[in-house]
Structure 1
Amino acid sequence: MAEIQEYIIFLLIWLIPTILLRAFVKKRSSPRLPPSPLALPIIGHLHLLSSIPHQAFFKISSRYGPLIHLYLGSVPCVVASSPEICKEFLKTHEISFLNRPKTVVSDYVTYGTQDLSFAPYGDHRKFVKKLCISRLLGGQTLDLLQPIRRQEINYLIELLSMKAKAGESVAIGSELIRLSNNVISRMVLSRRLSGDENEAAQMREQVREITALTGQFNLSDFIWFFKNLDVQGIGKRLKAVMGRFDKMMEKIIEEHQSERRKLKQRTKEGEVAKDLLHILLDIAEDESSEMKLTREKIKGFILDLFVGGTDTSAITIEWTLAELINHPKILLKAVQEIDSVVGKNRLVEESDIPNLPYLQAIFKESLRIHPSGPIIVRESTEDCTISGYHIPAKTQLFVNVWAVGRDPNHWENPLEFRPERFLAEDGSAKGQLDVRGQHYQLLPFGSGRRSCPGTSLALLVVQTALAAMIQCFDWKVEGIVDMEEAPSMTLPRANPLICFPVPRLNPIPSLY
């Protein structure tokens, strides 16, 4: 018995160091991954996340550094939280991170990634991106569709004026979503999504539900043994809402095609009177087009515009107005600038924005602190090295835009709302700080080849709408406006902004 005990002790003395030595050698010989907290079996680091991921990532990065490695379930991920690290991912090694990860929801709502937002980087995406820049969302098309945006902003001002006369409060977010929905819908489909008519209400609800499903955490995407299970019921809800959306889009496309066959309507300038769907159908019917646009690709792109162009614009205006209400001196300065440039006898227009540098600075500051897309998501297609760390292929990348905009190494007093940081000493705009992805401390619209193609449209709508709102009204609230965020893929407010508009011009000017 004693001999057996001695043998077991000898075996343990030999076995334990051997195991530790092998683990040490394996660790030394394995590629060096970024710093990482302790992971749990099966769920990895999911227990460290909260309902607001960008805040949770920021908290982890504050302890482990601007580049961290996480396992969300069984999915390897990295999080970038500083401008320097973001630049390495999005510029130096951009070619390795041009794809977005495919999820159950994204694959389904984009008809198998046949849209622009989720399409793998390749010939199809290059073709659609070129269409966006040259025809769909380019300067000429935006100019042609300017009357739509002017009219919808005028409708908003008229509604606010009615509320002001009645002494009623306004849920700002709801009215701004209505505005952005109508702008997108009229530009794309030549129809409004406001009113009580059944079709408009259905379309609004479908876009809202699809947006919510796109941003919802799905166990099937992250934990391998849930891959083919719809444990949260997301798949069932997805099929139902997409079935309704697809049916409605088929009806709208048929109506457009029927109109094209019957009317072939032209304007005095000789241009076909078109919305964006008409332009897409033109391209689909063009035999000389370098790539065929199928029905699925058209519907996927239209859904992109609704999902990406409604909530985000409304959220940006709402956060900016909230900041201005909490900072009355900044609001007063913005109003004085508008009065001096535009006057009090006409409503501010898109063409006035370049002459309003302080207003532009306000929007940059709002986008810095409250980016409507707080996280950029990519996926590596090949192994690469970032800041000396190995990043394997098929690793998901989360660029924490929210954290980058609050980096104290690049922004003095980063939590302070101070538009002057974007102005030169003479009050003109600082040309070196732009929001279009050239400066990695400010990335509200992404950067590089996968940056947002609708940036120009978004800036036109949000800046002009807010300028008109503060030109025409003072805004009264009870107490201080809170700045709490709600869980979402975008950055909505936790509590709606409820205001009482008070006319500051008499009469309130109209665009018409």
Structure 2
Amino acid sequence: MDLFTIIMLQSLFIILLIIKWQYSKPTNKNSPPSPPRLPILGNLHQVGLFPHRSLKNLAEKHGPLMLLHFGNVPVLVVSSANTAEEVMKTHDLVFSNRPRRKMSDILLYDSKDIANSAYGEYWRQIRSLAVLHLLSNKRVQSYSRVREEEAARMVETIKEFASSSVPLNLSEIFSGVTNDIVCRIALGRRYRGGGEGCNKFQELLLEFGELLGTISIGDYIPWLSWLNKVDGSYKRASRVAKRLDEFLDQVIAEHVSSGKRKEQEGLTDNVDDFVDVLLSVKTSSAVGFEFDTITMKAILLDMFAAGTDTTYTVLEWAMAELLKRPAVMHKLQDEVRTVVGNRSNITEQDLVHMNYVKAVIKETLRLHPPIPILVPRESTKGVKLNGYDIEAGTQVLVNAWAVATDPKCWDQPLEFKPERFLNSSVDFKGCDFQFIPFGAGRRGCPGVQFATAVDEIVLATLVHHFDWDSPAASKEVDMSETCGLALHLKSPLLAIATPYYE
């Protein structure tokens, strides 16, 4: 018998032992309903290209609290408002941990960011720092001028092409304006279209978002992690992480140098971007833990992960729905143009009076949540959930899209109807569990106001200045999806803009 045959037989024997151990563990636990699973893979083969849809289909057969296995990792899938409330409110503390993900470790400094760090004192400290110093209501409102200026700049860009009736790539426009807003607020200036370094940063962010949204087989079947090395995804992530790290080091160094110059010249400019705010916190010892440069860079990358890709996809889906529904578009335009009157530019004070704008954004978030399956949670100890036994170390996937399209909670759930929010107190701030695009509880997204402020001003500005039409002869809009970090339109959204004159 040759060496190759011996190795193959030994490998087969080990695999058979793993399968036997996996399926023969005695248990007297009352586990949630679970579909049949394959050896080794478990239920991974049932996830599909669009997990939010395939998991909803499985939940319709097995229930809103369903236990899957990804490899040998138990994964609890939550698909209803009641079960979501159990996880994110009643037992929020138990389910406040994050599972370790190799891609997050590579891209986010060993998962030292807010979204992916393990539950504990470190996470509490950095989340408190971000909420207090970066994402407070007062701080978000202080950046209104930046959002208004970039929205006005976007209008001038569109006007250059509007007169020629050439279809505009709205996906590209939304990505650009969102990136410019976040760059100015976080880093102090735009990093797009301003030279080779700026263009490279834009490319890096796109690749960063794509990689962060990928699933690594090694996270669920460790002995198959070599596959991620073979396909080059880990190497690619390491390259992106290194280049982003070098870029952020350069940005921080520029801010330190600028701060010293202002101090020497006796300038008293207000701190108005995230890097300056974080440097100020770092030097003032205003936090009760060791706040180093690595932590600062991890927080800054979180701002881009949560503030760009997931923010502009809301604009993309909102305009796609409006192009399909001219009556809804006209109603939105009437509200915006009535509020603004003869003035050319919209201010954020105007948005207070635009209830239909807010309703359109809410309905878009309901039907097209940017992250349809919320960032995974993990149980820290065993717990009873709806009468079922949930073991410690169980991962939890909350299918926010399934919850938001549940006919038990919503009338005509798959229809785009902004009017449903006009006389409703239901909101996305984490108290109404039938509508949780930003999550809820301890692990809810702290940047809700930051993201919605961008979406509202950009959408209102677009419909104020222009009339819009689909370039397709059939007037149909391709609503096909594609998954990454956020749920995007598969094809770029094209539209024809006609300047509006009273």
TM-score, with length taken from structure 1? 0.89
> Secondary structure of 1:147's partner?
helix
1:431-446 paired onto structure 2 within 5 Å? 432-446=425-439
> Secondary structure of 2:77's partner?
strand
In 2, are the aligned partners of 1:266 and 1:273 still within 8 Å (CA)? no
| 1:265 CA drift (Å) | 8.5
| 1:179 CA drift (Å) | 0.7
Structure 2 partner of 1:244: 243
1:126-275 paired onto structure 2 within 5 Å? 126-227=124-225, 230-264=229-263, 272-275=270-273
| 1:80 CA drift (Å) | 0.3
| 1:167 CA drift (Å) | 2.2
**Structure 1 residue runs of 4+, over 6 Å off?**
265-268
| 1:443 CA drift (Å) | 0.5
CA distance in structure 2 between the aligned counterparts of 1:115 and 1:489, rounded to whole angstroms: 16
CA distance 1:337–1:233, shift in 2 (3 Å): same
CA distance in structure 1 between the aligned counterparts of 2:213 and 2:345, rounded to whole angstroms: 37
In 2, are the aligned partners of 1:404 and 1:442 still within 8 Å (CA)? yes
Aligned partner of 1:87 among 85, 95, 107: 85
Q: Deviations over 1:11-59 (max 9, x none)?
A: xxxxxxxxxxxx99x87x6111111111110000111121111111011
Structure 2 partner of 1:42: 40
Structure 2 partner of 1:500: 496
Q: Which moved more, 1:372-381 or 1:484-493?
A: 484-493
In 2, are the aligned partners of 1:382 and 1:393 still within 8 Å (CA)? yes
Structure 2 partner of 1:481: 477
CA distance in structure 2 between the aligned counterparts of 1:225 and 1:103, rounded to whole angstroms: 15
The amino acid across from 2:496 in the alignment is F
CA distance in structure 1 between the aligned counterparts of 2:387 and 2:29, rounded to whole angstroms: 10
Aligned partner of 2:451 among 443, 458, 469: 458
| 1:312 CA drift (Å) | 1.0
CA distance in structure 2 between the aligned counterparts of 1:462 and 1:288, rounded to whole angstroms: 32
The amino acid across from 2:134 in the alignment is L
Ranges in structure 2 where 5+ consecutive residues have no aligned partner: 1-22
CA distance in structure 1 between the aligned counterparts of 2:154 and 2:415, rounded to whole angstroms: 30
1:294-313 paired onto structure 2 within 5 Å? 294-313=292-311
CA distance in structure 1 between the aligned counterparts of 2:342 and 2:372, rounded to whole angstroms: 37
In 1, are the aligned partners of 2:104 and 2:111 still within 8 Å (CA)? yes
1:271-282 paired onto structure 2 within 5 Å? 272-282=270-280
Structure 1 partner of 2:16: none
| 1:183 CA drift (Å) | 0.7
> Secondary structure of 2:69's partner?
strand
Q: Deviations over 1:168-197 (max 9, x none)?
A: 211111111111111111111112122151
The amino acid across from 2:223 in the alignment is F
> Secondary structure of 1:486's partner?
strand
CA distance in structure 1 between the aligned counterparts of 2:33 and 2:451, rounded to whole angstroms: 37
Q: Which moved more, 1:219-228 or 1:152-161?
A: 219-228
| 1:482 CA drift (Å) | 2.4
Q: Deviations over 1:102-160 (max 9, x none)?
A: 11111122212221111122222222222222221112222332221111111111111
The amino acid across from 1:31 in the alignment is K
CA distance in structure 1 between the aligned counterparts of 2:76 and 2:342, rounded to whole angstroms: 51
CA distance in structure 2 between the aligned counterparts of 1:59 and 1:265, rounded to whole angstroms: 64
Structure 1 partner of 2:378: 379
Q: Deviations over 1:302-324 (max 9, x none)?
A: 11111111111110011001111
The amino acid across from 1:356 in the alignment is M
The amino acid across from 1:470 in the alignment is V
In 1, are the aligned partners of 2:103 and 2:234 still within 8 Å (CA)? yes
Q: Which moved more, 1:295-304 or 1:483-492?
A: 483-492
Aligned partner of 1:469 among 462, 465, 470: 462
> Secondary structure of 2:495's partner?
strand
CA distance in structure 2 between the aligned counterparts of 1:265 and 1:342, rounded to whole angstroms: 44
CA distance in structure 1 between the aligned counterparts of 2:496 and 2:338, rounded to whole angstroms: 25
CA distance in structure 1 between the aligned counterparts of 2:430 and 2:265, rounded to whole angstroms: 38
In 2, are the aligned partners of 1:182 and 1:194 still within 8 Å (CA)? yes
Aligned partner of 1:59 among 45, 52, 57: 57
CA distance 1:99–1:266, shift in 2 (3 Å): farther
Q: Which moved more, 1:130-139 or 1:258-267?
A: 258-267
The amino acid across from 2:261 in the alignment is K
> Secondary structure of 1:181's partner?
helix
| 1:232 CA drift (Å) | 2.6
Structure 1 or 2, whichever has the larger Rg, is 1
The amino acid across from 2:448 in the alignment is T
Structure 2 partner of 1:12: none
| 1:289 CA drift (Å) | 3.0
CA distance in structure 2 between the aligned counterparts of 1:395 and 1:326, rounded to whole angstroms: 42
CA distance in structure 2 between the aligned counterparts of 1:344 and 1:272, rounded to whole angstroms: 33
Is 1:411 aligned with 2:404? no
CA distance in structure 1 between the aligned counterparts of 2:139 and 2:264, rounded to whole angstroms: 17
The amino acid across from 1:117 in the alignment is A
Aligned partner of 2:349 among 343, 348, 351: 351
Q: Deviations over 1:375-401 (max 9, x none)?
A: 111111111111111111111100000
Identity of aligned residues (%): 33
The amino acid across from 1:317 in the alignment is L
CA distance in structure 1 between the aligned counterparts of 2:357 and 2:286, rounded to whole angstroms: 45
CA distance in structure 1 between the aligned counterparts of 2:36 and 2:387, rounded to whole angstroms: 21
In 2, are the aligned partners of 1:264 and 1:272 still within 8 Å (CA)? no
Aligned partner of 1:106 among 100, 104, 124: 104
The amino acid across from 2:497 in the alignment is P
Aligned partner of 1:327 among 325, 332, 352: 325
> Secondary structure of 1:166's partner?
coil
Structure 1 partner of 2:398: 399
| 1:62 CA drift (Å) | 1.2
Structure 1 partner of 2:71: 73
State the Cα RMSD in Å.
1.9
Q: Which moved more, 1:77-86 or 1:209-218?
A: 209-218
The amino acid across from 1:56 in the alignment is S
In 2, are the aligned partners of 1:371 and 1:402 still within 8 Å (CA)? yes
Q: How many residue pairs are counted as aligned between the two chains? A: 475
In 2, are the aligned partners of 1:83 and 1:441 still within 8 Å (CA)? yes
The amino acid across from 1:353 in the alignment is L
1:12-27 paired onto structure 2 within 5 Å? none
